[in-house]
Amino acid sequence: MDLLQKHIEIGEEAMANGNYEKASEIFLKLTKSELSSFYAYFCLAKIANFTNDPLTAKGLYYKAFEIKPDLCSLVFAQNHPNFGYVFKGMLEEPKQEVCPLCGKPGEPYWCYCLLENFAAYVQSFNPVRLWMHCRGCRHLYSEEFPVQKFEPSKDPGKLKGKGMPTMTQMLSGYSLLLSKLGSFTQGNELLEIGVGRL
pLDDT computed for residue 160 by the predictor = 47
Q: Which long-range contacts (CB under 8 A, 24 or more apart) does 50-59 make?
A: 50/15, 50/20, 51/20, 54/108, 54/109, 54/110, 54/111, 54/130, 54/131, 55/108, 55/111, 55/130, 57/111, 57/113, 58/111, 58/128, 58/130
Q: Which residues contact 154 (CB under 8 A, 6 or more apart)?
A: none
H/E stretch holding 149: strand 149-151
pLDDT computed for residue 86 by the predictor = 93
**Are 127 and 87 within 8 A, CB to CB?**
yes
Domain boundaries, the chain: 2-75, 106-184
pLDDT computed for residue 103 by the predictor = 87
pTM: 0.76
Angle of helix 54-67 versus helix 37-50 axis, rounded to 10: 170
* Residues 21-74 pLDDT 10s: 999 999 999 999 988 999 999 999 999 999 999 999 999 999 999 999 999 998
pLDDT computed for residue 117 by the predictor = 72
CA 82 – CA 88 distance, rounded (Å): 14
Thinking of the domain 2-75, which architecture would CATH place it in?
Alpha Horseshoe (1.25)
161: alpha, beta or left, given left = phi > 0 and alpha = psi -120 to 50? left
Instruction: Give residue 172's pLDDT band: very low, low, confident or very high (50, 70, 90).
Output: low
CA 6 – CA 21 distance, rounded (Å): 18
Q: Which among 27, 76, 69 has a CA at the least distance from the CA of 48? A: 27
CA 3 – CA 32 distance, rounded (Å): 14
